[in-house]
């Protein structure tokens, strides 16, 4: 009998932890193009978040409220410090600043309609105020950004509040970006730019440097509007404790803190994934800063960056926020990353459009291309028809309504007649990291790392 040795062919498949397939793909992409990747939406990496907190509801030691019977107030007032006309909202859930340019005019209208129906505010973005959004929004916050695209005193006077944007959670320290495909004639005209230019904008304001200057700038905005409108200062979450203190020093009525999970229409991926701190850590630092200055309740705090659910809203409020702002959540409500788009009550497949972008529903982050398969983040005359304002408005309204119902459900279970009565005592942390970042003890213990 022939006794030849058997050679079993062995395939080596050990993947490197440092150089896994994702990193190899990144390196080879860099080698092919010589330019960093730009994309939309927010951080994809896992970071400690509100999911790592849990509520302690009523039981024997605390008394819950009857879920469907007893009143639970959601009314929210912002801008009580200096403004003659503070903002009054029916719910503590607002729509974050997103530009016309990043979003279509249809979407801006849909957001305005939804916000108005829900008694909350929506916000302009880096590109000025459109008639569509002013017309459809009862309460509109007007952003003053470093680029000042489309910024003008008439729109400033039409606004209900003013938000001075220092930074954004997705890219603290970075300027705006809008790639040429989205700079169509209307966008170009509003921004005073050549059509089709790859727009990159400044990261610092052109006419002030530092908090002492900002104090004068805020005074200018107040003088401009005869001290009527609340002035918000928005910061991307980094050195949040100090930044919030300086925002208060500068005279802000409201501070907006945007964590690293916050979205963007177009930014370098290295920025999105590697700059800034998680929203969870930022909320605690912001609240600490306000308490340190004895300004809690005098200067309101809006938190944004990865707020998705009613539970997230409840946790942000319990940690000390007065309201939240949602960007990406409302985009998903509009149909972002959905397999279909809706026209005249019918669903149509958008899969070809995802395929053309080299992606699929659930993974798409191609806002920067302007080729949004569902017509949300586009300036393309055909694609934008995929999102009809009335359809979008209904979906966003439903989403906000759901969040508000979830928020009050949790608040009642915790025994609160007012969602603003939620407090840190109502929360525990699920992980050591979350306990350290939030300052909320690990569940079942009274332990906060570092204390």
Binding site for other proteins (CB under 8 A): 33-35, 147-148, 151-154, 156-157, 179-180, 191-194, 197-198, 200-202, 206-209, 213, 216-217, 219-220, 223-227
Shortest Cβ 228–other proteins spacing (Å) = 11
3-state secondary structure of 178: strand
Tally of CB atoms within 10 A around 241:
15
Question: Is beta strand 199-200 parallel, antiparallel or unpaired with respect to 177-178?
Answer: antiparallel
Shortest distance, position 350 Cβ to other proteins, whole Å: 27
Cα 176 to Cα 203: distance, rounded to the nearest angstrom? 7
- The 8-class DSSP code of residue 229 comes to S
Q: What is the CA radius of gyration of the chain?
A: 23
Residue with tokens 């407090």: 423
Q: Which is nearer to other proteins, 175 or 373 (CB)?
A: 175
Q: Cβ of residue 430: shortest distance to other proteins, in angstroms?
A: 42
CB distance 176 to 148 below 8 Å: no
Q: Which is nearer to other proteins, 261 or 268 (CB)?
A: 268
The distance of closest approach from Cβ of residue 226 to other proteins in the complex, given in angstroms and rounded to an integer, is 5
Which residues are within 8 A (CB) of 235 and not within 5 positions of it... i.e. 6 or more apart? Answer: 166, 167, 172, 243, 244, 247, 255, 256, 257, 258
Beta partners for 257? 235, 303
Output the CA torsion sign for 50, 237, 332, 391.
positive
**Identity of the residue, 156 or 357, whose beta carbon is nearer to other proteins in the bound complex:** 156
Q: Which of 208, 241 has the CB closer to other proteins?
A: 208
Task: Report CA-CA distances (Å) from 287 to 253, 321, 357, 439.
Answer: 15, 7, 42, 11
* Number of Cβ atoms within 10 Å of the Cβ of 68: 8
Give whichever of 197 and 351 is closer to other proteins, judged by the CB atom. Answer: 197
Q: How far is the CB of 216 from other proteins (least distance, A)?
A: 5
Q: How far is the CB of 38 from other proteins (least distance, A)?
A: 8
Please state the closest distance from residue 27 (CB atom) to other proteins, in A.
15
Closer to other proteins by Cβ: residue 5 or 34: 34
Q: Which is nearer to other proteins, 71 or 157 (CB)?
A: 157
User: Which C-beta is closer to other proteins: that of 70 or that of 213?
Assistant: 213
Query: Cβ distance 90 to 74 under 8 Å?
Result: yes
For residue 388, the minimal CB distance to other proteins (Å) is 33
Q: Quick one: 153 or 358, whose CB is closer to other proteins?
A: 153
**Do the strands 340-343 and 93-95 form a parallel or antiparallel pair, or are they unpaired?**
unpaired
Cβ–Cβ < 8 Å for 390, 114: no
Angstrom distance (rounded) from CA 256 to CA 239: 14
> Shortest Cβ distance from residue 143 to other proteins (Å)?
14
Task: List 323's β-bridge partners, or say none.
Answer: 302
Q: How far is the CB of 122 from other proteins (least distance, A)?
A: 23
- 427 membership: H or E segment, kind and range: strand 427-429
C-alpha dihedral sign at 162, 185, 175, 261: positive
Nearer to other proteins, 70 or 195 (CB): 195
């Amino acid at each position: 009998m022939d006794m030849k040795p058997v050679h079993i062919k062995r395939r080596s498949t050990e993947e490197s932890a440092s150089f896994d397939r994702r990193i190899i793909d990144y390196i080879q992409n860099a080698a092919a193009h010589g330019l960093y990747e730009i994309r939309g939406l927010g951080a994809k990496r896992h970071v400690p978040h509100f999911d790592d907190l849990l509520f302690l509801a009523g039981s024997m030691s605390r008394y819950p409220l009857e879920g469907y019977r007893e009143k639970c107030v959601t009314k929210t007032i912002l801008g009580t410090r200096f403004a003659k006309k503070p903002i009054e909202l029916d719910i503590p859930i607002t729509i974050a600043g997103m530009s016309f340019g990043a979003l279509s005019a249809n979407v801006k209208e849909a957001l305005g309609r939804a916000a108005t129906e829900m008694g909350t505010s929506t916000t302009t973005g880096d590109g000025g105020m459109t008639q569509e959004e002013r017309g459809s929004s009862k309460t509109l916050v007007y952003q003053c950004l470093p680029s000042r695209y489309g910024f003008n005193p008439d729109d400033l006077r039409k606004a209900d509040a003013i938000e001075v944007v220092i930074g954004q959670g997705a890219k603290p320290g970075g300027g705006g970006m809008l790639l040429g495909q989205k700079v169509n004639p209307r966008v170009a005209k509003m921004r005073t730019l050549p059509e089709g230019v790859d727009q990159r904008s400044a990261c610092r304001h052109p006419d002030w440097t530092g908090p002492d200057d900002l104090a004068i700038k805020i005074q200018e905005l107040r003088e401009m509007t005869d001290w009527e409108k609340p002035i918000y200062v928005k910061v991307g979450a980094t050195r949040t404790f100090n930044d919030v203190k300086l925002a208060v020093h500068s005279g802000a009525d409201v501070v907006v803190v945007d964590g690293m999970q916050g979205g963007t229409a177009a930014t370098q991926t290295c920025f999105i994934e590697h700059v800034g701190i998680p929203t969870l850590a930022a909320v605690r630092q912001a609240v600490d800063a306000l308490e340190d200055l004895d300004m809690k309740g005098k200067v309101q705090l809006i938190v944004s960056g990865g707020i998705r659910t009613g539970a997230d809203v409840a946790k942000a409020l319990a940690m000390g926020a007065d309201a939240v702002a949602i960007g990406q959540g409302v985009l998903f409500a509009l149909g972002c990353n959905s397999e279909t788009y809706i026209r005249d009550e019918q669903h149509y497949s958008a899969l070809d459009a995802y395929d053309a972008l080299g992606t699929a529903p659930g993974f798409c982050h191609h806002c920067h291309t302007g080729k949004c398969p569902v017509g949300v983040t586009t300036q393309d005359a055909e694609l934008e028809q995929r999102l009809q304002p009335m359809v979008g408005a209904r979906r966003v309204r439903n989403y906000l309504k759901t969040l508000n119902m979830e928020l009050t459900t949790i608040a009642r279970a915790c025994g609160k007649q007012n969602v603003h009565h939620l407090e840190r005592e109502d929360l525990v942390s699920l992980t050591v990291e979350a306990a350290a970042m939030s300052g909320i003890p690990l569940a079942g213990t009274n332990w906060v790392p570092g204390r």
